């Protein structure tokens, strides 16, 4: 709840400051924000529906076994596969991650999911190849996958200490 107050205060003061310095720019920004929001809303709704129904139908035990604290490396592997093959925008991935965490999924698993989602793109390799060549594209994706797993492992070790 605290983060909502903080975000509101930040947004309000940023908006006020921007408005005082340049009305036109601020208006352009608000229009842009509305465009982003309205084109995100329908896909976000369907994702929320899918998650709501899936979580209601999946026994908690299954979710925790697959991605929870007992899942260990298996959870990270599952997250890495999903993150590498899917093309989900961050605007949707973060809200979904939050829901998964409040249902018992580990932060380290989420770190792997988010990092692979952002860095590894199996589907976009054909595009990437056109810029870097096949060898460099494959190499970058492979090293990014390893990096994501390392970040996940580090977070799982450090998380409980702090």
Q: How far is the CB of 140 from other proteins (least distance, A)?
A: 6
**Distance of alpha carbon 8 from its chain centroid, rounded?**
22
Instruction: Pick between residue 40 and residue 85 the one whose CB is nearest to other proteins.
Output: 40
What residues between 62 and 91 interact with other proteins by CB under 8 A?
87, 89-91
Find out whether 26 and 18 touch, Cβ atoms under 8 Å.
yes
Find out whether 105 and 60 touch, Cβ atoms under 8 Å.
no
Binding part of the chain for other proteins, among 62-70, 75-83, 126-134 by CB under 8 A, reads: 126-134
What residues between 27 and 56 interact with other proteins by CB under 8 A?
28-30, 32-34, 36-38, 40, 42-46, 48-53, 55-56
Is residue 132 part of the contact set for other proteins (CB under 8 A)?
Answer: yes
Q: Locate tokens 């996958």: which residue?
A: 145
**Can you list the alpha helix ranges (DSSP code H) found in 58-124?**
60-67, 73-85, 90-102, 107-119
Which residue among 23, 61, 74, 130 contacts other proteins (CB under 8 A)?
130
Q: Which helix (H) or strand (E) holds 32?
A: helix 23-57
Total residues contacting other proteins by CB under 8 A comes to 74
């Amino acid at each position: 709840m605290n983060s909502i107050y903080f975000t509101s205060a930040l947004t309000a003061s940023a908006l006020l400051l921007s408005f005082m310095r340049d009305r036109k720019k601020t208006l352009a920004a608000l229009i842009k924000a509305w465009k982003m929001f309205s084109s995100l809303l329908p896909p976000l709704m369907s994702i929320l529906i899918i998650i709501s129904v899936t979580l209601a139908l999946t026994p908690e035990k299954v979710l925790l076994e697959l991605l929870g604290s007992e899942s260990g490396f298996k959870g990270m592997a599952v997250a890495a596969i999903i993150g590498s093959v899917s093309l989900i925008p961050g605007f949707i991935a973060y809200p979904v991650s939050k829901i998964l965490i409040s249902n018992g999924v580990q932060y380290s698993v989420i770190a792997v999911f988010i990092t692979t989602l952002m860095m590894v793109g199996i589907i976009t390799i054909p595009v990437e190849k056109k810029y870097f060549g096949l060898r460099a594209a494959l190499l970058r994706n492979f090293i990014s996958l390893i990096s994501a797993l390392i970040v996940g492992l580090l977070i799982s070790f450090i998380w409980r200490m702090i």
